[in-house]
Amino acid sequence: MSESSHYRGRLAPSPTGYLHQGHRATFAVARDRAQVAGGELILRMEDLDAARCRPEYTAAVLADLRKWGFRWTEGPEVGGPHAPYVQSERRAYYLEIWRRLRRLGFIYPCDCSRRDILLAGAPHLEDEEPIYPGTCRGRAVGTEEPTGWSWRFRVPDGDSVGFTDGAEGRREAVAGRDFGDFVIWRRDDVPSYQLAVVADDIAMGITEVVRGADLLASTFRQILLYRGLGASLPTFYHAPLVRDPEGRRLAKRRP
Contacts with ligand GLU, residue ranges (CB under 6 A): 12-14, 46, 197, 211, 215
Nearest residue to ligand GLU by CB is 211
Residues near 178 by Cβ (< 8 Å), separated by ≥ 6? 220
Which amino acid belongs to residue 210? V
State whether residue 216 is helix, strand or coil: helix
Largest CA distance in the chain: 54
Closest CB to ligand GLU among residues 120, 229: 229
Among 159, 6, 171, which Cα is nearest to 73's? 6
Q: How far is the CB of 167 from ligand GLU (least distance, A)?
A: 14
DSSP of 97-139, one letter per residue?
HHHHHHHTT-EEEE---HHHHHHHSBP--TTSPPBP--TTTT-
Closest CB to ligand GLU among residues 150, 218: 218
State the Cα–Cα distance between residues 164 and 233, nearest whole angstrom. Answer: 11
Q: What is the CB-side half-sphere exposure of residue 56 using CA atoms within 13 A?
A: 3
Q: How far is the CB of 147 from ligand GLU (least distance, A)?
A: 24
Q: How far is the CB of 14 from ligand GLU (least distance, A)?
A: 4
Q: What is the CB-side half-sphere exposure of residue 82 using CA atoms within 13 A?
A: 21
Task: Tell me the backbone φ, ψ of residue 253, rounded to 5 degrees.
Answer: -65, 145
Closest CB to ligand GLU among residues 12, 184: 12
Q: How far is the CB of 22 from ligand GLU (least distance, A)?
A: 10
Closest CB to ligand GLU among residues 12, 173: 12
Closest CB to ligand GLU among residues 213, 215: 215
Contact 48, 89 (CB under 8 A): no
Q: Which is the catalytic residue, given 252, 253, 254, 255?
A: 252
State the Cα–Cα distance between residues 225 and 228, nearest whole angstrom. Answer: 5
Q: How far is the CB of 81 from ligand GLU (least distance, A)?
A: 21
Query: Is 252 an active-site residue?
Result: yes
Residues labelled catalytic? 252
